[in-house]
């Protein structure tokens, strides 16, 4: 394993590669993403520990999309069983992924705890507790401060865990070292990742406008269908985004097997 440096323009290329590869197998990749999110949503229903367990599964869900995209890139059909790929690659890697998931859940909950010091836990109750987000809550200054603090602190957390699932799965790197190498890769290729984020922001904005216009037309005739169209659009965009992650990994650490 060797850390590779890329040009800033690679960030835009990663988005293009992710979108193109997604449309090779749109139903399979969207279905895989839906299965992972549905499983995490069901786990959140477990009393007390449900949200923490769901957070711990996010690195595994990310890895399943990375492997499925790599399979698609090789001309193979990404099977639904890939949703469990993180736990079917040997005892050592399974244990490492469990540790990685526990670290992610712990770090994210600590981050949410810091936001509670700003607004008394209102943002945490909305984000993790399922409390409805009303207009009054959204307009509250403390709530907005907690939200922006969480977003700001999530950026370094995201860098730590961005490549870590792939490093554990494809290179057998221990969890803590994987976090370190992931953060270093993101920092050394900071401008590429900055453009990657801006490019996806542009894609989400443009797609959101298209979906909003289409939803407006559909809502005139079928309100329920309009809601379904919005959910489908969000699901497709999210699946496309996760499909692009493997290209960032490939250019930073070499092509996965």
CB atoms within 10 A of CB 9: 11
Q: Per-residue pLDDT averaged across 121-126, rounded?
A: 86
- Is 79 part of any domain? yes
pLDDT tens-place string over residues 162-213: 999 999 999 999 999 999 999 999 999 999 999 999 999 999 999 888 877 7
> 75: which residues sit within 8 A by CB, 6+ positions away?
none
Residue 121 DSSP SS3 = coil
Confidence of residue 221 (pLDDT cuts 50, 70, 90): low
How far is Cα 235 from Cα 185, in angstroms, rounded to an integer?
Answer: 28
Tokens standing for residue 240: 């496309």
Q: What is the pLDDT of residue 225?
A: 62
Report residue 181: phi and psi, to 5°. Answer: -65, -35
Confidence of residue 219 (pLDDT cuts 50, 70, 90): low
Total domains in the fold of the chain: 1
Domain that holds residue 215: 10-253
Produce one character per residue of 188-225: b if its CB has 16 or more CB atoms within 10 Å, e if not: ebeebbebbeebbeebeeeeeeebeeebeebeeeeeee
Confidence of residue 238 (pLDDT cuts 50, 70, 90): very high
Q: Per-residue pLDDT averaged across 72-90, rounded?
A: 91
Spatial CA neighbour of 54 closest among 131, 109, 113: 109
Give the CA dihedral 172, 7, 15, 207, nearest 10 degrees: 140
Q: What is the pLDDT of residue 142?
A: 87
- Is the pLDDT higher at 6 or at 208? 6
- Is 241 part of any domain? yes
Q: What is the pLDDT of residue 102?
A: 96
Q: What is the pLDDT of residue 245?
A: 96
Q: What is the pLDDT of residue 223?
A: 55
- Report the half-sphere exposure of 57 (CA within 13 A, side-chain side): 22
- Is 4 part of any domain? no
Q: Per-residue pLDDT averaged across 131-144, rounded?
A: 83
Q: What is the pLDDT of residue 138?
A: 82
Q: What is the pLDDT of residue 126?
A: 84
Confidence of residue 226 (pLDDT cuts 50, 70, 90): low
CA of residue 89 relative to chain centroid, distance: 21
How far is Cα 251 from Cα 256, in angstroms, rounded to an integer?
Answer: 10
Residue 82 has pLDDT above 90, yes or no: yes
Q: What is the percent of the chain where pLDDT is above 70?
A: 94
How far is Cα 46 from Cα 63, in angstroms, rounded to an integer?
Answer: 24
- Is 2 part of any domain? no
Give the CA dihedral 246, 247, 250, 256, nearest 10 degrees: 40
pLDDT tens-place string over residues 47-64: 878 889 999 999 999 999
């Amino acid at each position: 394993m060797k850390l590779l440096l890329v040009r800033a323009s690679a960030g835009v290329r990663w988005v293009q590669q992710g979108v193109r590869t997604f449309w090779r197998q749109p139903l399979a990749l969207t279905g895989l993403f839906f299965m992972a999110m549905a499983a995490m949503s069901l786990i959140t229903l477990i009393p007390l520990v449900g949200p923490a367990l769901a957070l711990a599964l996010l690195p595994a869900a990310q890895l399943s999309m990375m492997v499925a995209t790599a399979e698609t890139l090789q001309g193979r059909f990404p099977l639904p069983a890939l949703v469990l790929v993180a736990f079917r690659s040997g005892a050592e890697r399974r244990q490492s992924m469990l540790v990685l998931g526990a670290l992610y859940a712990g770090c994210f909950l600590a981050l949410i705890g810091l936001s509670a010091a700003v607004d008394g836990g209102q943002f945490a109750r909305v984000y993790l507790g399922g409390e409805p987000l009303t207009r009054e809550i959204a307009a509250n200054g403390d709530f907005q401060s907690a939200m922006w603090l969480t977003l700001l602190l999530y950026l370094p957390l995201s860098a730590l865990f961005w490549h870590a699932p792939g490093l554990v799965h494809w290179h057998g790197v221990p969890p803590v070292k994987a976090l370190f190498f992931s953060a270093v890769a993101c920092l050394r290729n900071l401008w590429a990742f900055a453009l990657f984020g801006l490019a996806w922001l542009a894609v989400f904005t443009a797609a959101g406008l298209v979906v909003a216009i289409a939803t407006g037309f559909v809502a005139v005739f079928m309100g329920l269908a309009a809601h379904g169209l919005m959910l489908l659009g969000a699901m497709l965009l999210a699946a496309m985004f996760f499909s692009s992650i493997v290209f960032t990994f490939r250019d930073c650490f070499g092509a996965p097997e």
